[in-house]
Amino acid sequence: MDDNTKKGVLNALAHASIDRRRLMQSAGMLGLAAAMAGRFGTGAALAADFDWKKHAGTKLSILMTGDENDHRALADMLPKFTEETGMELEITSPALGALIEKTLQNLKAEKSSFELIEYLGFLTTQQVGGGYYEQLNAYIDNASKTPPDWDIADFLPPAMANVGIFDMATGTVGQGKDIYGIPGLHSGSVIYFYRKDLFEAAGLKPATTWDEFKAAAEKLHSDDVAGCSFIGANDFSLAAVDWYTRFITTGGKLMTGSPKEKNFMPQVNSPEGIGALQMLIDLLPYAPKNVTKYGFAENVDGFSTGKIAQMIFWSTIAGPILNGENSLVADKTGTGPVPAKPGETPRAIQGGWGVAIPKNADPAKKDAAWLALTWMTSKAFNKYEVEKYQIDASRTSAFTDPDLVAKLPYLPDALKAASTAEIIPTSLIPEFFQLNDMMNVEFNAALIGTQDAKTACEKVQKQWEDALRKAGHLA
């Protein structure tokens, strides 16, 4: 997160916190009301005019991802939600492609069928910037509508920048003080997973540079265990994780200029761009034989069953590798920052989701939707989903919870990665997925061997320039 974005996020959080405190005081918050009994054992005190069952009997619907366990965590807790709020919540959770299509249909309709929608941070500009969601500041600052223990400052600043804060006047993510979405149900980035036992037996230390990563892959590769693995299929994360992480940690800068100035120029065919793809090609002899068809499941399953020695991966997707109930190598797996070129800071892409209230949702249900949103983005719920499903947290308190860290020792590494993660510049325009798809097709072709790294990057460069000109981002 760059300095300007960081200042913008802190500004927005500080503004929200100050107004919230002032309003809580004026509402008699300092006098305290009855302790909130039974709510996940928090025992927090309620403002005199705050009532969890204010909207009892209301039926709400949420549209959310069905790909990343968020929906399972929420479904688990629906009985508790109804018990504590008196409301009912229906979950609709399609796969990503169908989710995006259904979201846009609802946002553009006269009336949304859903009071809450979960959206990828990569789509913040398209959906939040499109003016489709309610501004939430007035809810956050109202002590009668927001539980006092909700604690907006506990959300990771990069996550707030990614999905929450948006300056409509300039169309800028992470700038200003206006909040339109709340990080949830998870955020996160990419970390390094490696087999401690294999590294120790071979006299190796965990890789801190890409040269060390390749050397370890070569030394550890055998008929039984692949020396490394990566997303090699024509898949979203081929470009967004494996290529982009190598690209930025070897000095690459994806875009120059800005969409507003119509000089938004890609640098895919730069030496760093070609070099990042060549790194993946050079790893093919030490990867699983079918790695060019590997997506999320193949890598997590392969690592969990002891067939992969090291990889970089979304911590929220690969977290179950550290869960002894799901993995044969939970106690043999170590984690750390992603490798980087000497002199570069280990870092990767900012991922995660936001939850917001559509502007065209039923006005009579918007206050109830906000109450439900605070419930499902609470500290207690965030802790539950991390513990049960190893979903990356959106809150600092979950990443640093002593009980969770004892059970899931990768959490400090995941927190560090989430705190240093970068918003990929192409997500700042609505054409993000279109550009990403182009890149994955050409990069997968290079891995299969039908073209070399330079040709693949040159093709992507041209396709991106054409698309950016057509969209008006490049003169």
| DSSP for 411-463, written as a single string | HHHHHHHHHH-B--GGGGSTTHHHHHHHHHHHHHHHHHTSS-HHHHHHHHHHH
The answer to whether 399 and 411 have CB atoms below 8 angstroms apart is: yes
pLDDT of 45 above 90? no
Q: At what angle do helices 210-220 and 271-283 cross, to 10 degrees?
A: 10
Cβ–Cβ contacts within 10 Å for residue 388, how many? 14
Distance set, CA 38 to CA 14, 83, 84 (Å): 30, 10, 9
Mean pLDDT estimate for the chain: 90
The token duo for 42 is 């928090």
Enumerate the β-bridge partners of residue 118.
355
* Arithmetic mean of pLDDT, 352-365: 97
Strands (E), 248-299: 255-256, 265-266
Q: Which of 145, 108, 64 is nearest to 367 (CA)?
A: 145
Least confident of 7-21, 261-275, 439-453: 7-21
Q: Is the pLDDT of residue 7 over 90?
A: no
268 CB-near residues (< 8 Å, 6+ apart): 254, 439, 457, 460, 461, 464
More confident residue, 322 or 454: 454
For residues 339 and 380, what is the distance between their CA atoms, to the nearest angstrom? Answer: 33
Quote the crossing angle between the two packed helices 453-471 and 432-448, to the nearest 10°.
160
Phi-psi region for residue 135, left (φ > 0), alpha (ψ -120 to 50) or beta? Answer: beta
Give 305's pLDDT tier (boundaries 50, 70, 90).
very high
Helix (H), strand (E) at residue 375: helix 366-376
Burial status of residue 475 (CB atoms within 10 A of its CB: 0-12, 13-18, 19 or more): exposed
> Which ranges constitute the DSSP H helices of 123-243?
124-127, 137-140, 157-163, 196-201, 210-220, 236-237
Residue 196 burial (CB count, 10 A): 14
The angle that helices 271-283 and 432-448 make with each other, rounded to 10 degrees, is 50
Report residue 35: phi and psi, to 5°.
-65, 145
For the residues 433-462, what does the mean pLDDT come to? 98
Average pLDDT of span 359-366: 98
Has residue 311 got a pLDDT over 60?
yes
| Cα-Cα-Cα-Cα dihedral sign, residues 359, 115, 80, 165 | negative
For 332-359, give one letter per residue: b (16+ CB within 10 A) or e. Answer: bbbbbbbbbbeeeebbbbbbbbbbbbbe
Q: What is the 3-state secondary structure (H, E, C) of 81-145?
A: HHHHHCCEEEEECCCHHHHHHHHHHHHHCCCCCCCEEEEEHHHHHHHCCCCCECCCHHHHCCCCC
First vs last C-alpha separation in the chain:
27
pLDDT at residue 23, as a whole number: 30
pLDDT digits (tens, 9 = 90+) for 371-426: 999 999 999 999 999 999 998 899 999 999 999 999 999 999 999 999 999 999 99
Q: Are 394 and 382 in contact (CB under 8 A)?
A: yes
**In a 3-state reduction of DSSP, which class is residue 168?**
coil
Report yes or no: 206 and 311 within 8 Å, Cβ to Cβ: no
Q: Which residues fall within 8 angstroms of residue 101, CB to CB, at 6 or more apart?
A: none
Element (H, E) at 371: helix 366-376
pLDDT, tens digit (0-9, with 9 covering 90-100), for 209-229: 999 999 999 999 999 999 999
d(Cα 335, Cα 191) in Å, to the nearest integer? 7
Question: SS3 sequence, 336-366?
Answer: ECCCCCCCCCCCCECEEEEEECECCCCHHHH
CB 334 within 8 A of CB 194: yes
Q: How much is the pLDDT for 68?
A: 86
